[in-house]
């Protein structure tokens, strides 16, 4: 009986070992499953974060492109304004005669160009000297001629004689009447105007 008991105990120990192994295996499988689930959750979170980062990068690129386009537009507008200002200055200089119509040589320095512009704008000495010479010649030409008699003073319309009054038109007679301060002359006929002016 002692041998039978020993065998029974060995069988019982084997069954117990099998159950313990099964439990350990089940626990290990459950632990692996939990770890896999956690890893999958972490991977999904990382994927979402990466997607968000990509969207943020796209938005940043779009904003940078918009700002670059805006800056380029502003720069082009500035260039156009400067070109218009330069055109106005060129036209104004041409109108004032301050800009030379002949292009300066490429090797001319700014100092030489300024000196040339000043020389072109300055009055020529020959012209300045020849200007007073004209009155001298005219005076020399007038010397031999006899002095003119003082011209007789012109008779004013108001000092016209009676014969002259009769020869004038109604409009001229009314102008003389106005000079003399007569009243009612605008309604007078010619004969009455002549009589009024004679008196």
CA distance 194 to 199: 9
Give the pLDDT of the chain (199 residues) as one tens digit per residue.
Answer: 466 678 777 878 787 777 777 777 777 777 788 888 899 999 999 999 999 999 999 999 999 999 999 999 999 999 999 999 998 898 888 776 544 444 444 455 667 767 777 776 665 554 444 444 444 444 444 555 555 554 444 444 444 566 788 889 999 999 999 999 988 888 989 999 888 888 7
Evaluate the CA torsion angle 153, 154, 157, 163 in order and state its sign: positive
Token reading at 148: 């003119």
Return all residues near 113 (Cβ < 8 A) that are at least 6 apart. 104
The Cα–Cα gap between 173 and 196 comes to 10
User: Which residue do the tokens 């065998």 mark?
Assistant: 7
Residue 178: partners with Cβ closer than 8 Å, 6 or more residues away: 185
Helix (H) or strand (E) holding 148: none
Write the CB contacts of 40 (distance below 8 Å, at least 6 apart in sequence): none
Domain boundaries, the chain: 46-100+109-120, 158-198
Q: In the 3-class helix/strand/coil scheme, how is 40-90 assigned residue by residue?
A: HHHHHHHHHHHHHHHHHHHHHHHHHHHHHHHHHHHHHHHHHHHHHHHHHHH
**Measured CA angle at 128 (ends 123, 134), to 5 deg:** 145
Sign of CA dihedral 178, 181, 185, 191: negative
Q: Count other Cβ atoms within 10 Å, centred on residue 197.
A: 22
């Amino acid at each position: 009986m002692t041998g039978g008991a020993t065998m029974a105990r060995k069988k019982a120990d084997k069954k117990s070992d099998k159950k313990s192994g099964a439990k350990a295996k089940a626990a290990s499988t459950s632990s692996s499953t939990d770890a896999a689930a956690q890893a999958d959750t972490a991977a999904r979170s990382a994927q979402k974060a990466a997607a968000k980062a990509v969207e943020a990068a796209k938005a940043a690129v779009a904003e940078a492109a918009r700002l670059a386009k805006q800056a380029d537009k502003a720069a082009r507008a500035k260039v156009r304004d400067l070109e218009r200002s330069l055109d106005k200055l060129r036209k104004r200089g041409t109108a004032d005669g301050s800009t030379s119509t002949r292009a300066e040589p490429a090797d001319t320095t700014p100092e030489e160009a300024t000196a040339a512009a000043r020389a072109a704008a300055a009055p020529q000495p020959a012209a300045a000297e020849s200007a007073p010479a004209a009155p001298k010649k005219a005076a020399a030409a007038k010397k031999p001629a006899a002095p003119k008699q003082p011209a007789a003073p012109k008779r004013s319309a108001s000092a016209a004689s009676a014969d002259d009054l009769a020869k004038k038109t109604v409009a001229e007679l009314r102008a003389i009447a106005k000079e003399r301060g007569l009243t009612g002359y605008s309604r007078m006929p010619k004969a009455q105007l002549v009589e009024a002016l004679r008196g």
